[in-house]
Amino acid sequence: MNRDPEDIQKQILALLQDLLPMASSVDAEAISRALGGTTSDTSTSLEPSSPLPPRTINNASSGFSRSNRPSQKEALFKLGDVPAVQDRYHALLKNRLQSEIEKNPPLFPWETEQYAYETDWIWSRQLKNIQLPVQVPGDLLAKLLERCQQLAHSSLKEGAKLVQAVEELFPNQPEALNHLAGLVMTSPVRSGATTAPPAGANFPSSYETAAHAQKMVLSLLAAREILNTLTLTVSPYRPVAERQWESHFGTVRLKASYDAQSPASIRLQVALPCDGQLSLQEAEFNLVGHRSTAGYLGMELVEPQLGQAYTLKVVLSDQVESPLTFTVRLQEE
């Protein structure tokens, strides 16, 4: 600890030499002050516009050279002042990186430009969990979700729902969509796992580089996953259906249980991550329930009609104008 303080400062400056080109003038001055020097001191002057010249430090007098820098660094880290300087510089560098990221947010691998996502749309988080052979852009998935909420309640067959879900994205191509929808329906729907593409489909690394037909297949696969998640189908042979949806408030969990004993009924149990409300709708009734804290809400539908689809709307917090619509259906297998 008897080493010359000025000599130690010079060696610390050499350790920071490789990082200084990345620092602004403010950062450089802060580092200099942390070392106990001033920006006007010629012996420890920091020039933010360019790195320190290779011969700034007198290697002969200090005994320090690039060849033995690692051993010198190890020795210097034993000094009390070095960790403080290092932590200060890391903090400055972190702040600079955060500032640059805020100005120029990084793109997802499938994006070629910045998208104006609706940051206040609370249901978009689930869309990031859809596992596809190739990632699909977020704005396209948002469009599919809006359309699938409308179609889930429809009595159309699955293939027709898929075609109608994506036809706005690929207008005037009904024959191709119908053919590809048939192929897509042969692939299993596996929640939480990567959706298997139709046999023989070889996808590229990104949605943008996919062929037109491949984009159709990817959109149809995504629509099928969304429709499946939005639909709770029960029957005498499969009396229980469960789903979950990730929101910006947390996970919404839904469970539908069918009891065939007279009077037959469907019991709904929904776990909300925050305050919210449920509404179960059909042409002749509208059941509403709400709670002021996170927890469970339950409803019972007595004597449901076979083949009938019931609309279940979930509202979180005060987002009344942004409900997520599920469909509860009783069918005979």
DSSP string, 194-219: PPPPPTT----SSSTTS-HHHHHHHH
pLDDT given at position 281 = 85
pLDDT given at position 304 = 92
Owning domain of residue 82: 5-103
CA atoms within 13 A on the CB side of 282: 14
> 135 and 93, same structural domain?
no
Alpha carbon distance 294, 313 (integer Å): 17
pTM above 0.75, yes or no: no
pLDDT given at position 240 = 97
Tokens of 257: 């249980």
Structural domain ending residue among the three candidates 172, 199, 229:
229
pLDDT given at position 61 = 41
Q: What three-state secondary structure class fits 300?
A: strand
Q: What angle do CA 88, 21, 84 make, to 5 degrees?
A: 15
Residue 137 lies inside a defined structural domain of this protein: yes
Tokens of 88: 């200060």
> What is the number of other CB atoms lying within 10 angstroms of the CB of residue 243?
17
> 21 and 48, same structural domain?
yes
pLDDT given at position 285 = 80
Alpha carbon distance 202, 210 (integer Å): 10
Q: What's the average pLDDT block by block, 10 residues per block, for the chain (333 residues)?
A: 53 51 54 48 42 43 45 46 65 67 53 47 91 90 95 93 96 94 81 51 81 94 96 95 96 96 93 96 85 95 91 93 94 78
Residue 49 lies inside a defined structural domain of this protein: yes
Alpha carbon distance 47, 57 (integer Å): 14
pLDDT given at position 286 = 87
Residue 322: closest CA among 313, 309, 311: 313
Beta strands in the chain (DSSP E): 231-234, 240-247, 250-259, 265-272, 276-282, 285-291, 295-302, 309-316, 324-330
Q: How many helical (H) and strand (E) elements, i.e. helices and strands, does the chain have?
A: 9, 9
> 53 and 88, same structural domain?
yes
DSSP string, 269-287: EEEESSSEEEEEEETTEEE
Residue 309 lies inside a defined structural domain of this protein: yes
> 246 and 181, same structural domain?
no
Pair 237, 252: CB distance under 8 Å: no
pLDDT given at position 329 = 94
> 218 and 275, same structural domain?
no
> 96 and 64, same structural domain?
yes
